[in-house]
Amino acid sequence: MNEGLSLDHHWLPFTANRAFKAAPRVLVGAKGVHYVDADGNTLLDGVSGLFCTPAGHGREAIAQAVGDQLRHLDFAPPFQFAHPDGFRLAEAISRLTPAGLDRIFFVNSGSEAVETALKAALAYHRARGQAGRTRLVGRERAYHGVNFGGLSVSGMVRNREAFGLGVAGVSHIRHTWAPDRVFITGQAEQGADLADDLQRTVDVQGAETIAAVIVEPIAGSTGILVPPQGYLGRLRKIADTHGILLIFDEVITGFGRTGKPFAAQSFGVTPDIITMAKAITNGTVPMGAVAFQRTVHDTIVGSGAEGGIEFFHGHTGSAHPVATAAALASLRLYEDEGLFDRAASLVEPFQQAVFGLRGLPAVTDIRGYGLLAGIDLAPDVVVGRRGAAALNALFAAGLLVRVTNDTIILAPPFVATDDQLHRIIDIVRAVVAKL
């Protein structure tokens, strides 16, 4: 129960705080694919916490690694010093990333990963004598975190409207969802030409002014927008033609969510930079990272004066010893239990079950790829009202999900059984049928 718990002082992020405090949803325990709320009710985790816990909750190997690390080395300053596990983790990640993206910079979150990627893109062009490349290109309906750089290249308007103009020199290309292409499993056959928006931006702004274009391979927080066939490859070709860096934001899709270590491998397109976070530690300790092509890293590092700092950027918690211990233990779990392959084996039954919701009167579209799915609900008079009602009703029915506006987002843990996946969908069906 929440008796005796003051709700006055904690300001919750991305939350309707007044509504929450009127009917709190407080979690007190987690194990496997379930949460326990403050009233002792068990809930299925339908979104891996927040896309963070593919190996499920309460993994003893990670807890043991974190406890051991705290007793051995609780903190090491990351500026001008280092500790061995930072190097071990960077090497382990480089074995998962696409070939060539093997220079790893550590941060504390996805937002910081994006900020690092954007800064490095600017630094790269300056180091190679093209300091005029200061423009950045994002995409409509994109989410790249909450720092000012990531906020500026994001395309979710409500996230930006209260915070001024943001970073100057940012353009946005169109998103990939189309109202005439709905209920499509996987990638749509049409729509690759939307990538030509990048060429139009080049034509207007001039290639010599553009540093980088950043996209999520699958736009996650806005409702699981899957790229059309050929779209990402077309972006890659246009970026190459004009010397523009291509950044994939894989904070959600990284570490097996699409059945491969990274979505870049699932779609067969290799960017210059990949951001990652969330599942890097199975959600246990905040951490993020950025993987760079060697040429990007070597150009920046090679431009500095001998003995001097080459990249004036970083965080106190970069490669924190406790976070690296959690990440190394998580990556070992993923490998030892074959969880990326398990995720791939669950894709077909999961997607079939999700698309079985088509036909419910309130459902206007379903999109999915890998172990990700977005279910659009017909909006009420106020956008988001039906989504909020769904969130509350699903929680009451024993299921935790992510809701954005009027879209239910599912991203189950890789350790879920077929029966648990179907139970998730059965709960969604029962609740949505009554909305």
Contact 53, 343 (CB under 8 A): no
Domain assignment present for residue 1? The answer is no
Query: Residue 11 contacts by C-beta under 8 Å, 6 or more apart in sequence?
Result: 17
Q: What residues in the chain have per-residue pLDDT under 50?
A: none
Contact 54, 279 (CB under 8 A): yes
Encoded amino acid at 213, one letter: V
- Per the structure, the count of domains in the chain is 2
Dist CA 419 CA 348 (whole Å)? 14
Phi, psi of 47 (to 5 degrees): -140, 25
Q: Give the tokens for residue 389.
A: 């009602």
Domain assignment present for residue 10? The answer is no
Backbone dihedral region for residue 151 (phi beyond 0: left; psi -120 to 50: alpha; all else: beta): alpha
Q: Would you call 343 helix, strand, or coil by DSSP? A: helix
Q: What is the pLDDT of residue 307?
A: 84
Q: Are 227 and 115 in the same domain?
A: yes
Q: Could you tell me the CA-to-CA distances from 301 to 84, 128, 305 in Å, in that order?
A: 21, 11, 9
Q: Are 206 and 319 in the same domain?
A: yes
Q: How many CA atoms lie within 13 A of 282 on its CB side?
A: 30
Domain containing residue 408: CATH number: 3.90.1150.10
Secondary structure element (H or E) that encloses residue 365, with its range: strand 363-369
Q: Are 279 and 309 in the same domain?
A: yes
Domain assignment present for residue 6? The answer is no
Nearest to 325 by CA among 71, 151, 129: 71
Dist CA 43 CA 286 (whole Å)? 23
Q: What is the pLDDT of residue 264?
A: 98
Q: What is the pLDDT of residue 304?
A: 77
Dist CA 49 CA 66 (whole Å)? 19
Contact 91, 355 (CB under 8 A): no
Name residue, tokens 């409207």. 161
Q: Are 222 and 157 in the same domain?
A: yes
Domain assignment present for residue 9? The answer is no
Torsion of CA 185, 189, 190, 193, to 10 degrees: 110
Q: Are 273 and 228 in the same domain?
A: yes
Q: Are 117 and 251 in the same domain?
A: yes
Q: Could you tell me the CA-to-CA distances from 343 to 337, 414, 419 in Å, in that order?
A: 11, 5, 15
Q: Are 332 and 342 in the same domain?
A: no
Strands (E) located in 253-360: 273-276, 288-293
Q: Of 286, 314, 336, which one is at a domain's C-terminal end?
A: 336
Q: Give the tokens for residue 413.
A: 């843990």
Burial 383-421 (b: 16+ CB within 10 A, else e): ebebbbbbbebbbeebbbbbbbbbbbbbbbbbbbeeebb
Q: Of 336, 351, 374, which one is at a domain's C-terminal end?
A: 336
Query: Residue 290 contacts by C-beta under 8 Å, 6 or more apart in sequence?
Result: 104, 105, 107, 113, 116, 117, 120, 273, 274, 275, 276
Contact 390, 431 (CB under 8 A): yes
Strands (E) located in 166-205: 170-173, 184-185
Contact 133, 125 (CB under 8 A): yes
Q: What is the pLDDT of residue 1?
A: 53
Q: How far is CA 353 from the centre of its chain?
A: 23
Encoded amino acid at 373, one letter: A
Domain assignment present for residue 329? The answer is yes
R_g over Cα of the chain: 21
Q: Of 319, 336, 353, which one is at a domain's C-terminal end?
A: 336
Q: Are 116 and 261 in the same domain?
A: yes
Q: Are 331 and 427 in the same domain?
A: no
pTM: 0.97
Domain membership of residue 231 as a residue range: 64-336
Q: Are 347 and 300 in the same domain?
A: no
Q: What is the pLDDT of residue 33?
A: 98
Task: Give the end-to-end CA distance of the chain in Å, rounded to a whole number.
Answer: 28
Dist CA 35 CA 411 (whole Å)? 15
